[in-house]
A and B are shown apart, each in its own frame.
Chain A
């Protein structure tokens, strides 16, 4: 499973011809380790550990790091945009480990060495942590994001958790062993005991570290989210009480039609903000139909009542229905003289229906004024192209209703 993911992700080699291009995204100090990791196809964490271990061995790692920095170049421009997602390949990591080991042995021979008792445990601990942190990769982190409240449960979920706990456990035990073996021997061994303690701490950190960091991160993220939503609810309640009431009062008062229209539009916008999800779903039929009201009211200052039953993705048929309803509503607002236009849209299993109605002056369908005929024809054209039917019911003094039916799912 893991092998296949690795194989499918073609490594994105930096375009430059330089030996190492410093990483822009994966940067702790100068981006050297990140760049080297990208070039070698190894997790940068491992590269960093290699540098660190070699640095302990008489400072060789530091020298190497500076050398690598000197020969590397800064990335030009925005690279390829997206951060290259790569998983550490086990083979490369193993190879890097061997190289470091070789380097250490070489340095030991040469004499650049602080002593076996210091270098080996630290190298071991560093390698162990590297394995664990590198393994705690994307998938693992994704799981930690939905982390259960119980650290023990978090520890034992999955293979990665098991590896981490085994390695971490070994380090703790060996660290404790080192510490215990040296206590009481002599004062000179106190340094070793300290080392044992350090290794123990590192081991514990390995076991619980990732869980703890993630828990802390998650908690603070949750807290921020809660503060945001509380602030929003408080503001919504306030707006609801004060502003919506005022807007309702204006509409009931004998204000001029312009003022009433304005209050109505403001109310609609505020309501849309208060009662909808933070991001209105794009590409749905319902919001598209509801948007008709704003447009008609803006242009003709005639209020539009909209009722939508059901919802569906906004496909071609849906768009045709919305456009036709809008034209019919514009038409009613412009010509009927009615104080209100009603739009009703229902999503049924096999068809979409739309009704646009006014209680205005109406007309005789046999003697349609030419300006209205043009619009009626364009509504008919739209709907018929999608296999639907249109009927327009009207008579003088009786108002008008445009009825639209469209079969669903015929794009």
Chain B
């Protein structure tokens, strides 16, 4: 059974998650703020952490950065009510393997947790749109073409995800295997995390909360 740790400061939501996921996953711990989360995760060493982006004491990003210094293999799926580009891009760049909003249906959330546990990336249509937007436009400031640019294939896969297709549907429509689609998405995730493309930062902060 996949071991899951929940980090959220909203108690109702936490209770809801526990009830929904309890049957399918082993909930090994919960925390409502940054320090407790870092301690709990280091102690229980879960497979997947469901991480709220907004947390007292530094936000989900602080948890990610602290835990990933010591435990690289623990995987994070960011979960938030925020659709703000800066939040989304921020947690992904800090090392989360995916991002879903809190309105996601319980079956979809369970599927996303499994996908992250399996080492793949989870892109919602909105995240795919953000990535396309961030890698959009001219290539000024590109220092590493390998990292700072999406391939035509990756772009096409992302466009389909942004249009609302599941990985399986994307594979069928582009005549690829699901595994290939997953590889493309993971590669996009890596670029998103490692690219120094300056548009990425500028783009995200341009859309910050006012």
A sample of 30 cross-chain residue pairs with beta-carbon separation below 8 angstroms, ordered by A number, consists of A236-B209, A241-B10, A244-B82, A245-B81, A248-B101, A248-B102, A249-B12, A252-B16, A252-B102, A252-B103, A267-B103, A275-B83, A275-B84, A277-B210, A278-B210, A305-B125, A305-B164, A307-B125, A307-B129, A309-B129, A309-B136, A309-B162, A310-B137, A340-B164, A342-B125, A342-B164, A344-B125, A344-B129, A344-B162, A401-B163
Which chain B residues lie closer than 8 Å to A344 at the CB level? 125, 129, 159, 162-164
User: A245 contacts B102, CB within 8 Å?
Assistant: yes
| Cβ of B128 under 8 Å from chain A | yes
User: B136 contacts A357, CB within 8 Å?
Assistant: no
Which chain A residues lie closer than 8 Å to B209 at the CB level? 233, 236, 274-275
A:281-334 near B, CB below 8 Å:
305, 307-310
Which chain A residues lie closer than 8 Å to B102 at the CB level? 245, 248, 252
- Shortest CB-to-CB span from A61 to chain B, Å, is 53
| Cβ of A346 under 8 Å from chain B | yes
| Cβ of B207 under 8 Å from chain A | yes
For the complex with contacts A240-B81, A247-B81, A249-B12, 15 further pairs of A-B residues with Cβ separation under 8 Å are A245-B12, A248-B13, A248-B81, A248-B101, A267-B103, A275-B207, A276-B210, A307-B162, A309-B132, A340-B164, A342-B163, A344-B159, A346-B159, A355-B163, A357-B164
Which chain A residues lie closer than 8 Å to B83 at the CB level? 271, 275
A401 to B207, CA, bound (A): 30
A264 to B10, CA, bound (A): 19
- Shortest CB-to-CB span from A228 to chain B, Å, is 11
Which residue of B has the minimal Cβ distance to A253?
A: B16
User: A308 contacts B84, CB within 8 Å?
Assistant: no
A248 to B106, CA, bound (A): 12
Which chain B residues lie closer than 8 Å to A267 at the CB level? 103
| Cβ of A218 under 8 Å from chain B | no
A252 to B9, CA, bound (A): 18
User: B81 contacts A244, CB within 8 Å?
Assistant: yes
- Chain A, residues 210-235, CB within 8 Å of chain B (1/0): the string is 00000000000000000001001100
A340 to B207, CA, bound (A): 26
User: B54 contacts A307, CB within 8 Å?
Assistant: no
B:3-20 near A, CB below 8 Å:
9-10, 12-13, 16
| Cβ of B71 under 8 Å from chain A | no
Which chain B residues lie closer than 8 Å to A389 at the CB level? none
A:153-175 near B, CB below 8 Å:
none
Which size bracket describes the interface of B in this complex? 20 to 34
A161 to B138, CA, bound (A): 44
- Chain A, residues 394-405, CB within 8 Å of chain B (1/0): the string is 000000010000
Q: Determine chain A's interface SS by DSSP, over half rule.
A: helix
Which chain B residues lie closer than 8 Å to A276 at the CB level? 210
Chain A residues near B (Cβ < 8 Å): 229, 232-233, 236, 240-241, 244-245, 247-249, 251-252, 264, 267, 271, 274-278, 305, 307-310, 340, 342, 344, 346, 355, 357, 401
Q: Which 3 A-B pairs have the closest CB atoms?
A: A342-B164, A307-B129, A248-B102
Which chain A residues lie closer than 8 Å to B163 at the CB level? 307, 342, 344, 355, 357, 401
User: A252 contacts B207, CB within 8 Å?
Assistant: no
Which chain B residues lie closer than 8 Å to A232 at the CB level? 210
| Cβ of B115 under 8 Å from chain A | no
User: B105 contacts A240, CB within 8 Å?
Assistant: no
A276 to B12, CA, bound (A): 28
Which residue of A has the minimal Cβ distance to B56?
A: A241
| Cβ of B39 under 8 Å from chain A | no
| Cβ of B114 under 8 Å from chain A | no
Which chain A residues lie closer than 8 Å to B128 at the CB level? 307
Which residue of B has the minimal Cβ distance to A286?
A: B133
A161 to B12, CA, bound (A): 64
| Cβ of B126 under 8 Å from chain A | yes
Given contacts A240-B54, A340-B164, contact A308 B129 (CB under 8 A): yes
- Shortest CB-to-CB span from B89 to chain A, Å, is 14
A236 to B87, CA, bound (A): 15
- Chain B, residues 114-129, CB within 8 Å of chain A (1/0): the string is 0000000000011011
A275 to B9, CA, bound (A): 21
A346 to B82, CA, bound (A): 22
Which chain A residues lie closer than 8 Å to B125 at the CB level? 305, 307, 342, 344
Given contacts A276-B210, A307-B126, contact A248 B103 (CB under 8 A): yes
